[in-house]
A = this chain, B = another copy of it.
Amino acid sequence: MKAVGIKKSHPIDHTDSFIEFNTEEPKPGDSDLLVRIKAVSVNPVDFKVRQNAAKDKELEEPKILGWDAAGIVERVGNKVTKFKQGDEVYYAGEIDRPGCNAEFQLVNENIAGHKPKNISFEEAAAMPLTSLTAWECIFERLKIEENSGENQDILVLGGAGGVGSIAIQLLKKLTKFNVIATASRNETEAWCRNMCADVIVNHKNLEEEMKAKGYEQVDYILNFSDTDMHWDAMANLIKPQGNICSIVETKNPVDLNILKNKSVAFHWELMFTRAKFQTPDMHKQHEILERISKLLEEETIETTLNKTFKGLSPETFKEVHSLQESGKSIGKNVISF
C-alpha cells in the first residue's frame, strides 16, 4: 500500500520533511478493523511527533503519522463484534500504532465509531480526535453533567482551534453553561461566534478583558491554548473550589501553590491515554464517537471542518503541517485521498 511518512525529524520546509513510500498492507489483529482511508485531518500531535520522533538519527523504517481518519472497513479481525466489512467508520486511533496517512490502517474496534451518515468523509475526518478530547475534558475529567451549568460560567481558552470549536458546541448544546471563549483575531472571533460561544474575550489581555466583560471568576476553565502563558491568569480567574482542565503540556515547571488557597483542581486530558494504557474503560471512546455521530446526524452539532486539501502526497502534508504549525489554523484542516 502507499503511505506518506517521515524518516527523520526535519523542519517542514525541508525537501524530505515528508516522504512517500510503499509498505505491506497490515493484517488485522483479533479486535482490529482494517480501514481503507478516505480522509484524514491534522492535529497539533502530528507536527509534534514529526518534529520529535526522529531528531537524532534516521529511522530504519519510515513512520506513518496521522491520528484522525474516516474510511470504509475493508476487513475485520476474528473477535470484532461492533463493525462489519463495508461499514463507514471514523476514529482517532492510537499514538503507539502506525497512523492514518496511508491507504489502509488498523484500528481497534473499541476506539472506532460509525461515521455519521449525513456528512462526507472529509467532514467526518475532522471530528474524532477533537471530539474525544473535548468530550473527555468536559464530561469525564471535569465530571460535568449534561444539562447542568445553570448560572455557571466556563472559560474556553483557544476557542477557535480544533478542540475549542467542538468543546464550545458540546457545552452550548448539552449543558446550560454560559460559555466564554477566547480569540484574538477577527476571523477567530467570528468562528467562535459561529460555534455559538456566548462571550468572546481576547486572550492577549485575558484578565483585563474578562473584567471589562463583567467576569471576575469562572467555575471552570478549559485550556486548549498555552498552559505556561495562562498559568497565573487561570489561577486568578478560577473560582474557589473550581476546576481547570488542560491539554497543552507546559514548557517549564509551574508554581502549583498558587492554586492551593482556593482548593483548585488541575486535570490533564490526553485523548491517547485510554488506548496507550489499554484501560478497562477504553471502549468508552467507541461510545463517545457513536454519540458524536448521533449529534451530528441530528444536526445538534456541526462539523468543525474548515479547509479541505487533496491527495495522499508529501506535498499536501507539507502544506497542511505548515498551516498547523503557524498556530493560526481555524477549526480543522482535512486531506481527502
Chain B residues within 8 Å of A265, by CB: 141, 265-268
Q: Are A259 and B268 in contact (CB under 8 A)?
A: yes
B257 touches A255 (CB 8 A): no
Query: Is A263 interfacial (CB 8 A cutoff)?
Result: yes
Choose from B141, B262, B266, B273 the contact partner of A240 (Cβ within 8 Å): B273
Q: Which residues of B contact A260 (CB under 8 A)?
A: 249, 268, 270
B residues near A256, Cβ cutoff 8 Å = 227, 250, 253-254, 256, 266, 268
Residues of B within 8 A of A272 (CB): 261
Please measure, in the bound complex, the distance between the C-alpha atom of A264 and the C-alpha atom of B140, giving whole angstroms: 12
Name the distance in Å between A186's Cβ and chain B's nearest Cβ: 33
Verify B253–A263 contact, CB threshold 8 A: no
**B257/A249 in contact, CB under 8 A:** yes
A143 to chain B, nearest CB (A): 6
Which of A262-287 touch B at CB < 8 Å?
Answer: 262-270, 272-274, 276-277, 279, 281
Decide yes or no whether A32 CB sits under 8 A from chain B: no
Question: How far apart sit A45 and B263, CA to CA, in the bound complex (Å)?
Answer: 16
Number of interface residues of A (CB under 8 A): 34
Could you tell me the distance between the alpha carbons of A68 and B281 in the complex, rounded to whole angstroms? 43
Question: A234-250, CB under 8 A of B: which get 1 and which 0?
Answer: 00000011000000011
Give CA–CA (A27, B11) in the complex, Å. 71
Cα distance A141–B240 in the bound complex, in angstroms: 12
Q: CA of A253 to CA of B259 in the docked complex: distance in angstroms? A: 12
Tell me the nearest residue of chain B to A143, going by C-beta: B143
A235 to chain B, nearest CB (A): 11
A205 beta carbon closer than 8 Å to chain B:
no
Question: What mask results when residues 202 to 225 of chain A are scored 1 for a CB within 8 Å of chain B, else 0?
Answer: 000000000000000000000000
Known: A262-B270, A265-B266. 5 other contacts (CB 8 A): A141-B263, A227-B256, A241-B279, A253-B253, A260-B270
6 contacts between A and B (CB under 8 A): A241-B273, A253-B256, A256-B268, A260-B268, A261-B272, A262-B277
Interface residues of A (CB under 8 A from B): 136, 140-141, 143, 227, 240-241, 249-250, 252-257, 259-270, 272-274, 276-277, 279, 281
